[in-house]
Amino acid sequence: MDSSAAADLTLDRIEEAARFLVGRVERTPMLSSTTAARVVRATAGVELGGGRLYAKAEHLQRTGSYKVRGATFRIARLRAAEQAAGVIAISAGNHAAAVAVAAGLLGVHAVVVMPETAVRSKVEACRGYGAEVILGGEDTSEAWAAMERIRADRGLTFIHPFDHPDTITGQGTIGLEIVEDLPEVDVVVAGVGGGGMACGVAAAIKGLRPGARVYGVEPRNSNALSLGIAAGTPVPIRPVSIADGLNAPFASDTTIALGRRLLDGIVLLDDMEILAGLRFAAERMKQVLEPAGAAALAAVLHGHIPIRDGERVCVVFSGGNVDLPRFGELIAAAGPLPGA
Which active-site residues does the annotation give?
A: 67, 318
Q: How many DSSP H helices and E strands does the chain contain?
A: 14, 10
Q: Do 203 and 195 touch, CB atoms closer than 8 A? A: no
> Where is 111: in which H helix or E strand?
strand 110-114
Axis crossing angle, helix 271-284 with helix 291-301, rounded to the nearest 10: 90
Query: What is the rounded (10 degree) CA torsion for 247, 292, 105, 174?
Result: -110
Strand runs labelled E in 119-170 = 132-135, 157-158
What would the DSSP string read from start to end of 52-98?
SEEEEEGGGSGGGBTHHHHHHHHHHTS-HHHHHH-EEEE-SSHHHHH
* Residue 315 near residue 295 (C-beta atoms within 8 A): no
DSSP 8-state class, residue 337: P
Residues 6+ apart with CB under 8 A from 175: 14, 188, 200, 201, 202, 203, 204, 205, 208
- Residue 263 CB neighbour total at 10 angstroms: 24
**Angle 215-220-223 from CA coordinates, rounded to 5°:** 65
Phi, psi of 267 (to 5 degrees): -110, 150
Query: Is residue 112 within 8 Å of residue 133, measured between CB atoms?
Result: yes
Q: Chain centroid to CA 156: how far?
A: 25
Alpha-carbon gap, residue 292 to 297, rounded angstroms: 10
